[in-house]
Amino acid sequence: MFESSNRITLLCKSDYAKLTQINAQPTDHAARYGKGHPKLDTALVVDDHQFPDDIARIGSLVSLKDLGTGSIARFVLSEKGGDSHDDDEKIRPLSITSALGVALLGSRMGEHIKWTLPNGHTRYLRISELTSKSAAC
């Protein structure tokens, strides 16, 4: 489970369209989140050319720092999970339909996320790097 601020999530039109298409396909994620992707109903959708560069979207590289351990994990937000990105084993693809992917989509540099693991332990994470890929939006 992830908790973040009650901010309004910004999505670019192309990401919104991809999420809508993914949401229309029945998957295990649909069962996990109930009716649909949690960001679709509450997001503010912005034209791609007006979308801010400092907000995570599909294709963004996001580094998360665990504030308890100091460790850093790097992810690229993708439509699907899968193998390592660009043969770099240190950058892992992260599906935008996964719990962490949902939490990161629409987030900003420096934002904090509280993550409760299935075993009950809580981790506090901070977005320490956010780079938008030119292919996104």
CA gap 40, 23 in Å, rounded = 9
- What is the per-residue pLDDT for 136? 42
Range of 105's domain?
A: 2-131
Residue 37 resides in a domain:
yes
Residue 136 resides in a domain:
no
Where residue 94 sits, what CATH number does that domain have?
Answer: 3.10.50.30
Q: pLDDT tens digit string along 74-85? A: 999 998 766 544
Taking residues 2-28, report their average pLDDT.
Answer: 75
Tally the domains of the chain.
1
CA gap 18, 38 in Å, rounded = 14
What does the block give as tokens for 59? Answer: 């294709």
Residue 95 resides in a domain:
yes
Residue 8 resides in a domain:
yes
Residue 121 resides in a domain:
yes
- What is the per-residue pLDDT for 120? 87
Residue 137 resides in a domain:
no
pTM equals 0.76
Taking residues 116-131, report their average pLDDT.
Answer: 89
